[in-house]
Amino acid sequence: MRTCSLIDLGRVPYADALTLQRRLATLRAEGSLGDILLLVEHPPVVTLGRAGQKAHLRCPESILAGLGIEFFEVERGGDITYHGPGQLIGYPILNLTDHGRDVHRYLRRLEEVLTTTLGRFKITAGRSSGRTGVWVGERKIASLGIHIGRWITRHGFALNVDMDLTPFGLIVPCGIQDVAMTSMAQELSRPISMCKVTDTLVECFETEFGVSVLPISLTELMSAEPIHGELGISETAALVGGVQ
């Protein structure tokens, strides 16, 4: 069975995670690293994908800044979305040569991971015809947006666990007018443990992708030969605000 390194960074700024993704994807393409699953939470941030429309931001960027919400235009697919505390975000850095060179199938597999995870918590969720993501009825609970270069994946998914959904009102989420956003906590009417959700999601990821997920710190990963020196420990710490 193939292995996949799990790096749980906790809460890190979006820009740092983006830089780290790009560097890890380069190393994965060169064969210096195996598959990686990055898990993070972000401080409040709005991101606009390459298929998005700036008009789907319902307020000036200055208003976002005043609310302490960052804004980024990025290379992932999809439209506009919000990330914030209480949302579990996964950035798989995978070589699709090992998992089937089928982009649509990859998206469906990510959706399956999320749907199965939610099912473990007694939340009935699934796909919605013609719309990417995971839904509970007409309410969206998880979003997807990916980038693939040289068959290496970046970006990924965001699962609303137990978060303030109010900032979604500042945007047209995923470019879908009048979409209702929801979270696991809202669906279950009780607080949800991020740790329990993370553990469950990792198990579902292992099953869906046929890998053995091995937790490792970023420092340990980047210290390993033959990549030591490709991205030094001091640089790594700077990228993620000192998270080890």
Instruction: Supply 116's token pair.
Output: 């199965």
HSE at residue 35, side-chain half, CA atoms within 13 A, is: 22
pTM, rounded to two decimals? 0.93
Tens of each residue's pLDDT in the chain, 244 residues:
899 999 999 999 999 999 999 999 999 999 999 999 999 999 999 999 998 999 999 999 999 999 999 999 999 999 999 999 999 999 999 999 999 999 999 999 999 999 999 999 999 999 998 888 999 999 999 999 999 999 999 999 999 999 999 999 999 998 989 899 999 999 999 999 999 999 999 999 999 999 999 999 988 887 764 554 555 434 554 554 444 3
Instruction: Supply 120's token pair.
Output: 């473990």
Going from the C-alpha of 62 to that of each of 58, 68, 70, 76, the distances in angstroms are 12, 10, 10, 23
pLDDT tens-digit map of 20-73: 999 999 999 999 999 999 999 999 999 999 989 999 999 999 999 999 999 999
Q: Active site includes 204?
A: no
Domains of the chain: 2-231 (3.30.930.10)
Burial class from Cβ neighbours inside 10 Å (0-12, 13-18, 19+) for residue 100 reads exposed
Mapped onto helix, strand or coil, the DSSP state of residue 170 is: helix
Active-site position among 59, 174, 195, 204: 174
Q: Are 151 and 97 in contact (CB under 8 A)?
A: yes
Query: What is residue 178's predicted lDDT score, i.e. its pLDDT?
Result: 87
Mean pLDDT of the chain: 92
Q: Specify which residues 45 forms β-bridges with.
A: 70, 83
